[in-house]
Structure 1
Amino acid sequence: MNPARLLRLGQRLRALGLPVVSPSYEALAREASDEVLVTTAEGRITFCSPTFSRRWGVDRWALVGGDAFSWTHPEDRERVRAAFAAVCRPGSESVDSEHRYVVRSTGEVRWCRVRFSDARRVPGVGGIVWNCQDVTEVHDTLDALRHAATHDPLTGLGNRRRLLEVMERSLTDGLDSALLLLNLDGLKTVNDRHGHAVGDLVVRAVAERLDALVGDRGWLGRLDGDEFAVLLRGQEGPLSRALADLAQRAVGVARRPVEVEGRAVAVTAAAGTALLPGGDAGADAVEAGRRLFRHADIALGAAKAAGGNRWVPFSRALLDAAHDRAELAADLRHAVATGGLHLALQPLVDLAAGRTVGFEALVRWQHPQRGNVPPSVFVEVAEESGTILDLGAFVLESALEALVELQRAAGRSGLEVSVNLSGHQLQQPGLVAAVVDALRRHGLAPGQLCLEVTESVAVADLATARNTLQELRSHGVRIALDDFGTGYSSLSYLRRLPVDVLKIDKSFVDDVSGERADATGAAVLSGIVALSSALGLVTVAEGIETEQSHEVVRGAGCTWGQGYLFARPLSPAQAAAHLAAEAQNPRYRSTTA
């Protein structure tokens, strides 16, 4: 520093009654990367480093004698004064503080990390040293990370974590709370058919509609790829009416088609709602929020189970049903692990030769308290609870083991067994390896196993289904498309999926026999068989129960058939007896229940 200027500074400080910083400290502060202030114990500035001056865009000499606290943000000033007072107490160590400053020249708010040190007894300093570091970029980065952790990047709405935070803060004011959960049905199909870019446009469009619908009445968030949430607050009566109105309208706006590149793309929605009276929140806001979410989720599950495109309010009956389902899921998990399930086999019959050529493997559950639990119930529970993979592994192993024993007992080779695949199994990365390993261990040819998938399962994730089924087929495993005609019924799927067998649903068989028989039904059946024949597929007619339907499907050219006319599902021992009796009498038909 110019000696004359330093002299004038010293004179000014002495005129103000303030200590003078030594030239050596001035030189040291000039080289420091930190911005440095020195103040009296009252906070009056006695020294300002050049770096401080440059950072804040002020004349460093103009600051001398000013109040250092006037730079701090008004909301942080009390906290800064407390830290400053702490370091001024005798024997205190340095104290750190992180707070906001206001840049007077621009009004910009920036963050500083300050270390206060008592240097009043240090020669040449004689005051409280403020070592300042600008950490605005650090705070901006942390804010961005916090925002990313609590917000959906596609729509900018809060996410599941943010919802829980909002509920935790808001459930302590005594007001009633209401939660709406809305799930978009068909979004995955949109992604598969039109691409994820189109799916994203649909999601954003629905988000904008919901945002306009909710407005400032509540909080709107996107919890998952196809799930939104709305949180409302208020008094129970009006809140209940507002929630019902919002749910009805939300389902309506979600199903309105979205225009994308000149084409209308549509999804539908299912919604579940729940109310939490303010008096029921209790002291634990976190648990209260989870309970509210759980109730709305149960209602959403009921809306989806009813076919979607509707909203369902939470009720005690739904909660009891959910508890019962949870108990059933626990019992099923135990049954799978302890051998509580048993295999049933239904014969597959060559309609031309009248001979059993294989079996479809089915699974049965005789619950110790509930009795017989239908597959339509426990398979769905298995999918919901995550037990479906273990259940599928049990059926595959049991079916292959039974096939080996049946061939040995009947003295036959080349019998086939069909096993159903669930959507969860189809998406399992190790499925192909597990199937190939099971066939190897049981000494069976891959062509003796046919894996069945329904149209809806295959189409739910068409790309994954096609790749997995193609890999299975490359190993020699046969693939069947089950319940054809009851799902999407798009002929393009027959071309795009690697299929060997087409199983014609029972409803088509019923349409060509009995009271429902008509010419249209016969024409549809003949058309399906002709199409299958042109594609080189084996056709299996399901649900053959009468001689009339047997004759019609055989006359239409169906390859194989199954149904109660030939045999009901059999135990492995009964299946062996069925093959033995058939060997003695080719026209034998088992009627064992």
Structure 2
Amino acid sequence: MVVARSLPDPVDAVGARHSVGGPDPIDVLAGRWAEVLAPVGPTVRGRLGPLLRRLAAALRAEPFWPLAARPIGAALLGSGLYEDRLGSVGPALEDVLPATLGLLRREGPAALGPPGPEGTRRLLAALDELAAGFAGALRERALRDEHDLLRVRPCRGPDAEQVPASGEIHYRTLYMQGPVGIGIGGLDGEVLDLNPALCRMFGLTGRPDLPRPMTDFVHPDDAAAFIESYHRLRAGDPDNLSVDVRLVRPDELVVWAHISGSLVRDDDGRPSHIIAVVQDISERQRLRSRLEQASSQDRLTRLPNRTVTEQRLRQAFTPGAARRVGLCALGVDGFKAINDSLGHQVGDQVLLAVAGRLQMAAGPHLVTRTGGDEFAVLVVDPSGLDEVCHLADRLLAVLASPFLVGGHGINLSASIGVSETATAEACPEELMRAADVALSWAKAHGGGCRVVFDTERDAGEAARFALLAGMRGGIDRGEFRLAFQPLVRLTDKRVHGVEALVRWQHPDQGLVGPGRFIELAERSGAIVPLGHWVLAEACRSAALWWAELGPETPYVSVNVSPVQLIEPGWVREVTGVLGETGLPPDRLQLEITEQAVLRDEPAALDGLAALRAAGVRLALDDFGTGYSSLAWLRRLPVHALKIDGSFIDGLRHPAPDPVDESIVRALVEMAHALGLEVTAEWVETGIQADRLARLGCDLGQGRWFGDAGPAEWVPEHWRRTIG
């Protein structure tokens, strides 16, 4: 039985006989290249340096384009090697490519490409294309020579000099001294003759005993494909055919070969024999294998990468392969902080340790590294969602134990997104997306947990994303509207101010309330342009009221997002809008929340103080829901408090909630002690309004005093309330 083993690199034994010093590393490398290829003529020697410079330029180009190395490989063959070989003074061409690739892999990084791992990656990719260019040029050259050999008569005798039918010197030279392996086969599937180049490829010093069946030379795993191609060629379907197969030498070494076969016909047009041009492509195949491995394996952890996850998923979704598939998408929580505080070397060791624990916990299931601190575990044919969830719980548990890395004790947690489905009801892309989305939910939940993908929640997220996607365009298209809700003085029921409330007249969804888009705008940053529009539009409307009603015109109250409050230049934006619209500063009130100030307290307090000094009114919104101390409240440069509606709701019934009533009374008394005006939100009944007035509350806001209306409605409503 033949046992195939890989052919060793033919240049592994070639030692470095020159140091890479000197004024020009490329010239030194060119000299080493000439030595490795020896013997070479002066023409070839003089062209190696320019070829290396072309390769160096390709490696350093931005963007890097590996295909730029392919014409360099073709130019290597065209440098005179082919002609030297026909004249018996050059190296054997089957040795040129392995020797070249071996040398450049070892010594090229220091002389040619950018330093570091990126330079090595580029060099390997370029060498694969260089090999392809050399092999392609050699194949084209050999095919041209093949046409001159198609009239060769098959020879069974030992005298290879008989091979050229015409006896012409040119034919004898091509066959006997040519660099490309050539074989002659009969229509019965036997090898009739091999030229010297093909004998050398097989490691033979002389001509073997022939004829022999062609399949004796072919690797068993490739025999079926080779036989199929041979029968097609013998039948003339077509007359020329190429195939890549593994050949087995007598010493059991394996050679990858590109075989280009041609059917030769006699003078009557009947098939006579077959000529095959055989090229050794072993080094190219080894390079391709390395690149394929690199493209499918994570360099740090040696785990399969995301590409393998996608491939295995596609296999699992192949009809008949699996009934159900589950996927756990895992992210290490807070990994960036580990890199930042302990360094990337420790971070890499942590990832290696995480990978090891995940593999142990996952058992037979595929574990891959899909990103920087993200991994995936694929479960093929689970019994159901519960099995995948139990696996996710094991993964979380195995990562919960402290890690000891580089003398550091490190506690980790992870977030996991779980998706599981029947293969008949989904596709690989949907399953991967579902796991990624669920992972983002787990991270948003604070990490350290697993979250299962939910289609209803995803639909809601998608709807919110659709709103977000159209928000900036909606501002530009003028789709947003302002409505103004009155702030009424409880003692005389007069409109003291109005709050500007933003609405979105969405082209597809109709009128959309702020509860559906304000949070999205804050998370995305769209709140900045939206807030600017609201401020400017509200001030323009209030300036018109002031011009119509005079000094007693109600002020306009505008909500300020925490994102806006810390935006550079926000104070200048407010004063600029006041200047542009002509609205007096005391007719503008800005509503802020405790959390907005606490995000960047020093900067926020400075900005608020500047606005108060400019005459702008300031109100603390949703008061009572935070954790502010009395001392902190005294530092705020505000004019008013707005008590959160959750406390006001308990006062709407004839028998009020005594706790809520006590809280409201205390808040009002405290605010008045600090010289602050108090507004109660969510006033929806007359009972509430009267009770709040008795408690000393200054202003009320809610449906009892009227819903929000357009800007044109404000002056008339104000006139009605003053009698």
The TM-score normalised by the length of structure 2 is: 0.51
C-alpha distance in 2 between matches for 1:334 and 1:14: 80
Q: Does 1:100 align with 2:239?
A: no
Determine the structure 2 residue equivalent to 1:218: 365
Q: Does 1:176 align with 2:288?
A: no
SS of the residue aligned with 1:483?
helix
SS of the residue aligned with 1:179?
strand
Determine the structure 2 residue equivalent to 1:309: 448
Determine the structure 1 residue equivalent to 2:163: 21
Determine the structure 1 residue equivalent to 2:180: 34
Give the 3 Å change call, closer, same or farther, for CA 382–406 of structure 1 in structure 2. closer
Determine the structure 2 residue equivalent to 1:204: 352
Conserved in 2, the CA contact under 8 Å of 1:40 and 1:127?
yes
Give matches, 1:402-481, under 5 Å.
Answer: 420=561
Determine the structure 2 residue equivalent to 1:62: 208
Conserved in 1, the CA contact under 8 Å of 2:679 and 2:701?
no
C-alpha distance in 2 between matches for 1:246 and 1:15: 70
Determine the structure 2 residue equivalent to 1:293: 432
Determine the structure 1 residue equivalent to 2:257: 112
Q: Does 1:483 align with 2:606?
A: no
Q: Does 1:133 align with 2:279?
A: yes
Tell me the CA shift for residue 186 of structure 1: 2.0
C-alpha distance in 2 between matches for 1:16 and 1:383: 88
Determine the structure 1 residue equivalent to 2:461: 325
Q: Deviations over 1:537-558 (max 9, x none)?
A: x988997644566578899xxx
Q: Which has the higher contact order (CA 8 A, sep 6+)?
A: 1
Q: Deviations over 1:57-88 (max 9, x none)?
A: 22341264333322222111111122122222
1:268 to 407, 413, 416: 413
Tell me the CA shift for residue 260 of structure 1: 4.0
SS of the residue aligned with 2:595?
strand
Q: Does 1:229 align with 2:339?
A: no
Give the 3 Å change call, closer, same or farther, for CA 28–249 of structure 1 in structure 2. same
Q: Does 1:378 align with 2:517?
A: yes
The AA in structure 1 aligned to 2:329 is: L
The answer for unaligned runs of 5 or more in structure 1 is 2-11, 347-359, 446-479, 488-492, 513-520, 530-537, 556-560, 582-593
Give the 3 Å change call, closer, same or farther, for CA 397–485 of structure 1 in structure 2. closer
Tell me the CA shift for residue 48 of structure 1: 2.4
Conserved in 2, the CA contact under 8 Å of 1:150 and 1:158?
yes
After TM superposition, the structure 1 stretch with the greater mean CA deviation from structure 2, 294-303 or 206-215, is: 294-303
Q: What is the aligned length?
A: 469
Determine the structure 2 residue equivalent to 1:156: 302
C-alpha distance in 2 between matches for 1:567 and 1:51: 101
Conserved in 1, the CA contact under 8 Å of 2:562 and 2:596?
no
SS of the residue aligned with 1:228?
strand
The AA in structure 1 aligned to 2:448 is: N
- RMSD between superposed Cα atoms in Å: 5.5
Give the 3 Å change call, closer, same or farther, for CA 41–259 of structure 1 in structure 2. same
C-alpha distance in 1 between matches for 2:626 and 2:701: 17
The answer for unaligned runs of 5 or more in structure 2 is 1-85, 87-153, 486-498, 581-591, 610-619, 644-666, 682-697, 719-723
Tell me the CA shift for residue 56 of structure 1: 3.5
Tell me the CA shift for residue 97 of structure 1: 0.7
After TM superposition, the structure 1 stretch with the greater mean CA deviation from structure 2, 169-178 or 76-85, is: 169-178
Q: Deviations over 1:216-251 (max 9, x none)?
A: x21222233333221112352xx5443222111212
Tell me the CA shift for residue 524 of structure 1: 7.8
The AA in structure 1 aligned to 2:325 is: S
C-alpha distance in 1 between matches for 2:299 and 2:598: 38
Tell me the CA shift for residue 33 of structure 1: 3.3
C-alpha distance in 2 between matches for 1:120 and 1:19: 22
C-alpha distance in 1 between matches for 2:352 and 2:378: 19
The AA in structure 2 aligned to 1:281 is: A
Determine the structure 2 residue equivalent to 1:357: none
Conserved in 2, the CA contact under 8 Å of 1:343 and 1:399?
no
Conserved in 2, the CA contact under 8 Å of 1:484 and 1:505?
no
Conserved in 2, the CA contact under 8 Å of 1:178 and 1:233?
yes
After TM superposition, the structure 1 stretch with the greater mean CA deviation from structure 2, 49-58 or 329-338, is: 329-338
The AA in structure 2 aligned to 1:21 is: V
The AA in structure 2 aligned to 1:89 is: A
Conserved in 2, the CA contact under 8 Å of 1:38 and 1:47?
yes
User: Greater CA radius of gyration, 1 or 2?
Assistant: 2
Conserved in 1, the CA contact under 8 Å of 2:331 and 2:374?
yes
Conserved in 1, the CA contact under 8 Å of 2:191 and 2:214?
yes
1:52 to 198, 204, 208: 198
C-alpha distance in 2 between matches for 1:138 and 1:498: 65
Tell me the CA shift for residue 213 of structure 1: 1.4
Q: Does 1:246 align with 2:391?
A: yes
The TM-score normalised by the length of structure 1 is: 0.60
Give matches, 1:490-569, under 5 Å.
Answer: 510-511=626-627, 521=629, 545=643, 546=667, 550=671
Tell me the CA shift for residue 116 of structure 1: 0.3
Q: Deviations over 1:430-449 (max 9, x none)?
A: x999x9x999998989xxxx
The AA in structure 1 aligned to 2:409 is: A
